[in-house]
Structure 1
Amino acid sequence: MTMTQHKTFTIRPATAADAEHLVHFTVSASKGLSLITWEDAKQPGETAMDAGLRRAREGTGGFSFRKADVAEFEGEVMSGIVSYPIAPDGQSDTSDIPEVFRPLVILEERAGASWYINILATYERARGHGAASRLIQHVEARAKAAGEARISIVVDAVNPAMKLYEHLGFEEVSREPFGQSGDDHPEGHWVLMIKRI
Protein backbone atom coordinates (compact mmCIF):
# COMPACT_ATOMS: atom_id res chain seq x y z
CA MET A 1 0.00 0.00 0.00
CA THR A 2 1.27 3.44 -0.90
CA MET A 3 0.13 6.49 1.01
CA THR A 4 1.12 10.11 0.75
CA GLN A 5 1.71 12.09 3.95
CA HIS A 6 -1.79 13.58 4.10
CA LYS A 7 -4.46 10.95 3.73
CA THR A 8 -8.08 10.95 4.73
CA PHE A 9 -8.89 8.08 7.05
CA THR A 10 -12.39 6.83 7.64
CA ILE A 11 -13.10 6.38 11.35
CA ARG A 12 -15.76 3.88 12.33
CA PRO A 13 -16.80 1.79 15.33
CA ALA A 14 -15.09 -1.60 15.38
CA THR A 15 -17.12 -4.75 14.81
CA ALA A 16 -16.58 -8.35 15.86
CA ALA A 17 -15.03 -8.89 12.42
CA ASP A 18 -12.19 -6.56 13.45
CA ALA A 19 -11.09 -8.84 16.30
CA GLU A 20 -7.84 -9.93 14.63
CA HIS A 21 -6.82 -6.31 14.12
CA LEU A 22 -7.68 -5.45 17.73
CA VAL A 23 -5.61 -8.38 19.03
CA HIS A 24 -2.62 -7.28 16.94
CA PHE A 25 -2.95 -3.67 18.11
CA THR A 26 -3.30 -4.77 21.74
CA VAL A 27 -0.21 -7.00 21.71
CA SER A 28 1.76 -4.18 20.10
CA ALA A 29 0.56 -1.42 22.44
CA SER A 30 0.89 -3.52 25.61
CA LYS A 31 4.45 -4.65 24.82
CA GLY A 32 3.09 -8.21 24.90
CA LEU A 33 1.59 -7.97 28.40
CA SER A 34 -1.87 -8.73 27.04
CA LEU A 35 -0.65 -12.24 26.23
CA ILE A 36 -0.16 -12.88 29.97
CA THR A 37 -3.79 -11.96 30.63
CA TRP A 38 -5.02 -14.06 27.73
CA GLU A 39 -2.86 -17.01 28.81
CA ASP A 40 -4.77 -17.02 32.10
CA ALA A 41 -8.11 -16.75 30.25
CA LYS A 42 -7.51 -19.67 27.88
CA GLN A 43 -10.18 -22.32 27.50
CA PRO A 44 -9.28 -25.95 26.67
CA GLY A 45 -7.64 -26.15 23.25
CA GLU A 46 -7.04 -22.40 22.98
CA THR A 47 -3.78 -20.50 22.64
CA ALA A 48 -3.35 -17.13 24.34
CA MET A 49 -4.05 -15.45 20.97
CA ASP A 50 -7.23 -17.53 20.57
CA ALA A 51 -8.39 -16.32 23.99
CA GLY A 52 -7.70 -12.73 22.95
CA LEU A 53 -9.70 -13.17 19.76
CA ARG A 54 -12.59 -14.71 21.67
CA ARG A 55 -12.61 -11.87 24.19
CA ALA A 56 -12.45 -9.22 21.45
CA ARG A 57 -15.39 -10.82 19.64
CA GLU A 58 -17.55 -11.33 22.74
CA GLY A 59 -18.46 -7.68 23.07
CA THR A 60 -18.23 -7.65 26.88
CA GLY A 61 -15.53 -6.55 29.30
CA GLY A 62 -12.76 -3.98 28.95
CA PHE A 63 -11.22 -5.57 25.87
CA SER A 64 -14.08 -5.70 23.42
CA PHE A 65 -14.87 -4.53 19.92
CA ARG A 66 -17.70 -2.50 21.48
CA LYS A 67 -15.14 -0.17 23.10
CA ALA A 68 -13.01 0.16 19.98
CA ASP A 69 -12.84 2.33 16.87
CA VAL A 70 -10.70 1.79 13.80
CA ALA A 71 -9.19 4.01 11.11
CA GLU A 72 -9.46 2.72 7.55
CA PHE A 73 -7.74 3.76 4.37
CA GLU A 74 -9.34 2.58 1.12
CA GLY A 75 -11.34 0.00 3.09
CA GLU A 76 -8.32 -1.45 4.89
CA VAL A 77 -7.93 -1.16 8.68
CA MET A 78 -4.75 0.77 9.50
CA SER A 79 -5.08 1.74 13.16
CA GLY A 80 -7.24 1.01 16.19
CA ILE A 81 -8.12 2.48 19.56
CA VAL A 82 -9.84 1.01 22.61
CA SER A 83 -11.18 3.68 24.97
CA TYR A 84 -13.84 4.19 27.61
CA PRO A 85 -14.66 6.37 30.64
CA ILE A 86 -13.07 5.48 33.98
CA ALA A 87 -13.64 6.77 37.49
CA PRO A 88 -11.10 5.04 39.75
CA ASP A 89 -11.80 5.33 43.47
CA GLY A 90 -8.13 5.38 44.49
CA GLN A 91 -8.66 2.34 46.69
CA SER A 92 -7.41 -0.50 44.47
CA ASP A 93 -5.53 -3.22 46.32
CA THR A 94 -2.61 -4.19 44.07
CA SER A 95 -1.27 -6.95 46.35
CA ASP A 96 -2.96 -9.72 44.34
CA ILE A 97 -2.04 -8.23 40.95
CA PRO A 98 1.00 -9.69 39.17
CA GLU A 99 3.95 -7.36 39.67
CA VAL A 100 4.28 -6.61 35.97
CA PHE A 101 0.76 -5.08 35.94
CA ARG A 102 0.98 -3.07 39.18
CA PRO A 103 2.48 0.11 37.68
CA LEU A 104 -0.30 0.20 35.09
CA VAL A 105 -3.02 -0.15 37.73
CA ILE A 106 -1.35 2.53 39.89
CA LEU A 107 -1.19 4.98 36.97
CA GLU A 108 -4.77 4.27 35.96
CA GLU A 109 -5.82 5.13 39.52
CA ARG A 110 -3.85 8.39 39.29
CA ALA A 111 -5.68 9.26 36.06
CA GLY A 112 -8.84 9.84 38.06
CA ALA A 113 -12.12 10.42 36.28
CA SER A 114 -11.30 10.62 32.58
CA TRP A 115 -11.86 9.04 29.19
CA TYR A 116 -9.14 6.40 29.19
CA ILE A 117 -7.30 5.31 26.03
CA ASN A 118 -6.40 1.73 26.89
CA ILE A 119 -5.02 0.72 23.49
CA LEU A 120 -3.82 2.78 20.54
CA ALA A 121 -1.71 1.27 17.78
CA THR A 122 -1.10 1.54 14.04
CA TYR A 123 0.25 -1.01 11.60
CA GLU A 124 3.86 -0.20 10.80
CA ARG A 125 3.15 0.39 7.12
CA ALA A 126 0.67 3.16 8.01
CA ARG A 127 2.61 4.99 10.72
CA GLY A 128 3.30 8.68 10.25
CA HIS A 129 0.25 9.32 8.08
CA GLY A 130 -2.15 10.66 10.70
CA ALA A 131 -4.34 7.65 11.53
CA ALA A 132 -3.57 7.76 15.27
CA SER A 133 -4.15 11.52 15.38
CA ARG A 134 -7.54 11.10 13.73
CA LEU A 135 -8.52 8.38 16.21
CA ILE A 136 -7.52 10.56 19.17
CA GLN A 137 -9.53 13.47 17.77
CA HIS A 138 -12.51 11.14 17.34
CA VAL A 139 -12.21 9.90 20.92
CA GLU A 140 -11.83 13.46 22.21
CA ALA A 141 -15.14 14.39 20.56
CA ARG A 142 -16.81 11.33 22.12
CA ALA A 143 -15.38 12.19 25.53
CA LYS A 144 -16.63 15.79 25.33
CA ALA A 145 -20.08 14.60 24.27
CA ALA A 146 -20.11 12.29 27.29
CA GLY A 147 -19.27 15.20 29.60
CA GLU A 148 -15.69 14.16 30.37
CA ALA A 149 -13.16 16.92 31.11
CA ARG A 150 -9.99 14.90 30.50
CA ILE A 151 -8.52 12.16 28.32
CA SER A 152 -5.84 9.88 29.74
CA ILE A 153 -3.36 7.38 28.31
CA VAL A 154 -0.47 5.32 29.70
CA VAL A 155 2.51 4.92 27.38
CA ASP A 156 6.02 3.48 27.47
CA ALA A 157 8.47 6.32 28.18
CA VAL A 158 10.61 5.47 25.14
CA ASN A 159 7.66 5.17 22.75
CA PRO A 160 8.12 7.69 19.90
CA ALA A 161 4.35 8.27 20.04
CA MET A 162 4.89 10.37 23.19
CA LYS A 163 5.87 13.23 20.91
CA LEU A 164 2.59 12.88 19.05
CA TYR A 165 0.63 12.92 22.31
CA GLU A 166 2.50 16.02 23.48
CA HIS A 167 1.79 17.69 20.11
CA LEU A 168 -1.91 16.90 20.59
CA GLY A 169 -1.95 18.53 24.02
CA PHE A 170 -1.25 15.65 26.42
CA GLU A 171 1.05 16.34 29.37
CA GLU A 172 3.01 13.91 31.51
CA VAL A 173 1.42 13.64 34.95
CA SER A 174 3.15 10.67 36.56
CA ARG A 175 5.41 7.72 35.84
CA GLU A 176 6.14 4.32 37.36
CA PRO A 177 8.94 1.85 36.63
CA PHE A 178 8.00 -1.32 34.78
CA GLY A 179 7.23 -4.27 36.99
CA GLN A 180 9.87 -6.97 37.34
CA SER A 181 11.06 -8.10 33.92
CA GLY A 182 13.43 -10.63 32.44
CA ASP A 183 16.94 -10.01 31.20
CA ASP A 184 15.64 -9.33 27.69
CA HIS A 185 13.34 -6.54 28.94
CA PRO A 186 15.44 -3.84 30.62
CA GLU A 187 13.65 -1.68 33.17
CA GLY A 188 11.92 1.38 31.82
CA HIS A 189 8.92 3.47 32.79
CA TRP A 190 5.23 3.67 32.05
CA VAL A 191 4.05 7.28 31.77
CA LEU A 192 0.57 8.63 32.51
CA MET A 193 -0.35 11.47 30.15
CA ILE A 194 -3.50 13.57 30.44
CA LYS A 195 -5.15 16.09 28.14
CA ARG A 196 -7.77 18.52 29.44
CA ILE A 197 -10.60 18.98 26.97
Structure 2
Amino acid sequence: MDIQNAKKEDAKYLAFLINLAGEGIPHYLWSGMTRSGETPSDIGIQRAGREDGGFSYTNARVVKEGADVVGMLLSYRLDDPYIIDNLDDIPEVVRPLVVLESKAPGTWYVNAVATLASHRGQGIATGLLKDAEAKAIVHGVTRMSLIVASENQLARGLYLGLGYETRETLPVVDYPGCLHGGSWELMVKELSAA
Protein backbone atom coordinates (compact mmCIF):
# COMPACT_ATOMS: atom_id res chain seq x y z
CA MET A 1 0.00 0.00 0.00
CA ASP A 2 1.43 3.34 -1.06
CA ILE A 3 0.67 5.92 1.64
CA GLN A 4 1.73 9.44 0.73
CA ASN A 5 1.34 13.03 1.83
CA ALA A 6 -1.79 14.68 0.47
CA LYS A 7 -1.36 17.47 -2.07
CA LYS A 8 -3.38 20.64 -2.47
CA GLU A 9 -5.02 19.21 -5.58
CA ASP A 10 -6.42 16.38 -3.42
CA ALA A 11 -8.67 18.88 -1.57
CA LYS A 12 -11.91 17.74 -3.26
CA TYR A 13 -11.30 14.14 -2.16
CA LEU A 14 -10.31 15.24 1.35
CA ALA A 15 -13.50 17.29 1.71
CA PHE A 16 -15.62 14.32 0.67
CA LEU A 17 -13.79 11.89 2.96
CA ILE A 18 -13.67 14.20 5.99
CA ASN A 19 -17.43 14.57 5.72
CA LEU A 20 -17.75 10.80 5.53
CA ALA A 21 -15.53 10.31 8.59
CA GLY A 22 -17.23 13.18 10.41
CA GLU A 23 -20.65 11.58 9.95
CA GLY A 24 -22.03 14.62 8.12
CA ILE A 25 -21.01 17.19 10.74
CA PRO A 26 -18.57 18.94 8.36
CA HIS A 27 -21.27 19.34 5.67
CA TYR A 28 -23.68 20.63 8.31
CA LEU A 29 -21.14 23.23 9.48
CA TRP A 30 -20.07 24.18 5.94
CA SER A 31 -23.73 24.82 5.08
CA GLY A 32 -23.64 27.76 7.47
CA MET A 33 -20.53 29.21 5.82
CA THR A 34 -21.73 29.40 2.21
CA ARG A 35 -22.11 32.64 0.29
CA SER A 36 -24.08 33.26 -2.86
CA GLY A 37 -23.45 30.54 -5.42
CA GLU A 38 -21.36 28.35 -3.11
CA THR A 39 -22.20 24.85 -1.97
CA PRO A 40 -21.15 23.27 1.33
CA SER A 41 -18.75 21.09 -0.68
CA ASP A 42 -17.12 24.22 -2.12
CA ILE A 43 -16.42 25.40 1.43
CA GLY A 44 -14.99 22.00 2.37
CA ILE A 45 -12.67 22.04 -0.65
CA GLN A 46 -11.50 25.57 0.20
CA ARG A 47 -10.81 24.57 3.80
CA ALA A 48 -8.98 21.38 2.81
CA GLY A 49 -6.81 23.41 0.45
CA ARG A 50 -5.56 25.75 3.18
CA GLU A 51 -1.92 25.66 4.22
CA ASP A 52 -2.71 25.74 7.94
CA GLY A 53 -5.37 24.72 10.44
CA GLY A 54 -6.32 21.25 11.62
CA PHE A 55 -8.34 20.47 8.50
CA SER A 56 -5.63 21.14 5.93
CA TYR A 57 -4.16 18.89 3.28
CA THR A 58 -0.81 19.44 5.04
CA ASN A 59 -2.03 17.18 7.89
CA ALA A 60 -3.39 14.45 5.63
CA ARG A 61 -1.93 11.17 4.40
CA VAL A 62 -3.65 9.43 1.51
CA VAL A 63 -3.87 6.20 -0.43
CA LYS A 64 -4.50 6.66 -4.14
CA GLU A 65 -5.69 4.55 -7.02
CA GLY A 66 -4.31 6.32 -10.05
CA ALA A 67 -4.96 10.02 -9.42
CA ASP A 68 -7.96 9.36 -7.17
CA VAL A 69 -7.76 9.34 -3.37
CA VAL A 70 -9.48 6.20 -2.04
CA GLY A 71 -8.54 6.60 1.62
CA MET A 72 -7.24 9.33 3.88
CA LEU A 73 -6.21 10.02 7.44
CA LEU A 74 -5.97 13.48 8.98
CA SER A 75 -3.80 13.71 12.10
CA TYR A 76 -1.66 16.06 14.16
CA ARG A 77 -0.40 16.63 17.68
CA LEU A 78 -2.90 18.22 20.06
CA ASP A 79 -1.78 21.23 22.05
CA ASP A 80 -0.45 20.65 25.56
CA PRO A 81 -1.91 22.30 27.47
CA TYR A 82 -5.14 22.20 25.48
CA ILE A 83 -7.02 25.37 26.38
CA ILE A 84 -10.62 26.04 25.40
CA ASP A 85 -11.07 29.81 25.45
CA ASN A 86 -14.86 30.01 25.31
CA LEU A 87 -16.98 26.92 24.75
CA ASP A 88 -19.99 29.11 23.88
CA ASP A 89 -18.15 30.33 20.75
CA ILE A 90 -18.00 26.76 19.43
CA PRO A 91 -20.99 25.33 17.50
CA GLU A 92 -23.06 23.19 19.86
CA VAL A 93 -22.77 20.07 17.70
CA VAL A 94 -18.96 19.99 18.05
CA ARG A 95 -18.66 21.10 21.68
CA PRO A 96 -18.51 17.53 23.03
CA LEU A 97 -15.77 16.72 20.51
CA VAL A 98 -13.69 19.73 21.56
CA VAL A 99 -14.14 18.91 25.26
CA LEU A 100 -13.06 15.31 24.62
CA GLU A 101 -10.02 16.48 22.61
CA SER A 102 -9.03 18.62 25.60
CA LYS A 103 -8.88 15.46 27.74
CA ALA A 104 -5.99 14.12 25.61
CA PRO A 105 -3.47 16.98 25.47
CA GLY A 106 -0.20 16.27 23.69
CA THR A 107 -1.46 13.11 22.01
CA TRP A 108 -1.19 12.43 18.28
CA TYR A 109 -4.83 12.99 17.34
CA VAL A 110 -6.53 11.19 14.48
CA ASN A 111 -9.09 13.79 13.46
CA ALA A 112 -10.49 11.63 10.68
CA VAL A 113 -9.88 8.39 8.84
CA ALA A 114 -12.05 7.30 5.91
CA THR A 115 -12.04 4.93 2.96
CA LEU A 116 -14.33 5.03 -0.04
CA ALA A 117 -17.08 2.41 0.30
CA SER A 118 -15.78 0.67 -2.83
CA HIS A 119 -12.38 0.15 -1.18
CA ARG A 120 -13.37 -0.96 2.32
CA GLY A 121 -12.17 -4.27 3.69
CA GLN A 122 -8.78 -3.96 1.98
CA GLY A 123 -6.82 -2.81 5.05
CA ILE A 124 -6.54 0.83 3.96
CA ALA A 125 -7.78 2.32 7.25
CA THR A 126 -5.57 -0.04 9.25
CA GLY A 127 -2.55 0.87 7.13
CA LEU A 128 -3.26 4.60 7.54
CA LEU A 129 -3.65 4.26 11.31
CA LYS A 130 -0.36 2.36 11.61
CA ASP A 131 1.29 5.01 9.45
CA ALA A 132 -0.02 7.72 11.82
CA GLU A 133 1.35 5.81 14.81
CA ALA A 134 4.78 5.66 13.18
CA LYS A 135 4.60 9.40 12.48
CA ALA A 136 3.69 10.07 16.12
CA ILE A 137 6.70 8.08 17.33
CA VAL A 138 9.01 10.01 14.98
CA HIS A 139 7.67 13.22 16.58
CA GLY A 140 8.31 11.86 20.09
CA VAL A 141 4.62 11.35 20.93
CA THR A 142 3.78 8.28 23.01
CA ARG A 143 -0.03 8.27 22.85
CA MET A 144 -2.59 8.30 20.05
CA SER A 145 -6.15 9.58 20.43
CA LEU A 146 -9.32 9.66 18.35
CA ILE A 147 -13.06 10.10 18.83
CA VAL A 148 -15.73 7.75 17.53
CA ALA A 149 -19.51 7.48 17.89
CA SER A 150 -20.45 4.64 20.23
CA GLU A 151 -23.05 3.41 17.72
CA ASN A 152 -20.49 3.24 14.89
CA GLN A 153 -19.70 -0.38 15.64
CA LEU A 154 -17.60 -0.97 12.53
CA ALA A 155 -15.16 1.85 13.31
CA ARG A 156 -15.17 1.09 17.06
CA GLY A 157 -14.31 -2.54 16.32
CA LEU A 158 -11.37 -1.48 14.15
CA TYR A 159 -10.00 0.84 16.84
CA LEU A 160 -10.47 -1.69 19.65
CA GLY A 161 -8.72 -4.32 17.53
CA LEU A 162 -5.75 -1.98 17.11
CA GLY A 163 -5.41 -1.45 20.86
CA TYR A 164 -7.38 1.76 21.43
CA GLU A 165 -9.32 2.01 24.70
CA THR A 166 -12.24 4.25 25.61
CA ARG A 167 -11.23 6.82 28.23
CA GLU A 168 -14.13 9.32 28.31
CA THR A 169 -17.56 9.77 26.74
CA LEU A 170 -20.00 12.61 26.12
CA PRO A 171 -23.45 12.50 24.50
CA VAL A 172 -23.80 13.12 20.76
CA VAL A 173 -25.65 16.39 20.05
CA ASP A 174 -28.26 15.69 17.38
CA TYR A 175 -27.98 17.59 14.09
CA PRO A 176 -29.67 17.35 10.68
CA GLY A 177 -28.41 14.19 8.99
CA CYS A 178 -27.03 12.71 12.23
CA LEU A 179 -25.96 9.13 11.47
CA HIS A 180 -25.33 7.84 14.99
CA GLY A 181 -26.70 8.77 18.38
CA GLY A 182 -25.37 7.53 21.68
CA SER A 183 -22.09 8.96 22.86
CA TRP A 184 -18.85 10.25 21.45
CA GLU A 185 -16.01 8.13 22.81
CA LEU A 186 -12.49 9.44 23.31
CA MET A 187 -10.21 6.46 22.62
CA VAL A 188 -6.51 6.43 23.47
CA LYS A 189 -3.68 4.06 22.59
CA GLU A 190 -0.29 3.92 24.29
CA LEU A 191 2.57 3.60 21.82
CA SER A 192 5.92 1.91 22.18
CA ALA A 193 8.93 2.90 20.12
CA ALA A 194 9.81 -0.76 19.53
Identical pairs, percent: 35
Aligned to 1:163: 157
Shift of 1:194: 0.6
For normalisation by structure 2, the TM-score amounts to 0.89
User: SS state of the match for residue 111, structure 1?
Assistant: coil
CA distance in 2, matches of 1:183, 1:25: 16
| d(CA) in 2 for partners of 1:153, 1:176 | 14
- The reply on whether 1:38 has 2:30 as its aligned counterpart is yes
C-alpha contact (below 8 Å) 2:148/2:186 kept by paired residues: yes
The structure 2 residue matched to 1:71, chosen from 63, 69, 75, is 63
Q: Does 2:145 align with 1:152?
A: yes
* Contact 1:99–1:180, Cα closer than 8 Å, also in 2: no
Partner of 1:36: helix, strand, or coil?
Answer: helix
* Alignment check: 8 A CA contact 2:24 2:177 kept: no
Q: How many residues align?
A: 189
Q: What is the one-letter code of the residue matched to 2:15?
A: V
Asked whether the equivalents of residues 10 and 73 of structure 1 are also in contact (C-alpha less than 8 Å), the reply is no
- The aligned residue for residue 188 of structure 1 is 182
1:95 to partner: Cα distance: 2.1
Q: Is the 8 A contact 2:169 2:183 kept in 1?
A: yes
Aligned to 1:28: 20
1:76 positional shift: 4.2
- The AA in structure 2 aligned to 1:87 is D
Partner deviation per Cα, 1:91-132 (whole Å, 9 max, x = no partner)? 413122222111101110112210111010000111111000
Match of 1:95 in 2: 88
Q: Structure 1 residue 167: deviation in Å?
A: 1.1
What does residue range 107-186 of structure 1 map to in structure 2 within 5 Å? 107-159=100-152, 160-181=154-175
Residues 94 and 46 of structure 1: CA distance in aligned 2, closer, same or farther (over 3 Å): same
* Aligned AA (1:86): L
Asked if the contact 2:93/2:173 (under 8 Å) is kept, the reply is: yes
Per the normalisation by structure 1, the TM-score is: 0.88
Local SS of the residue matching 2:55 = coil
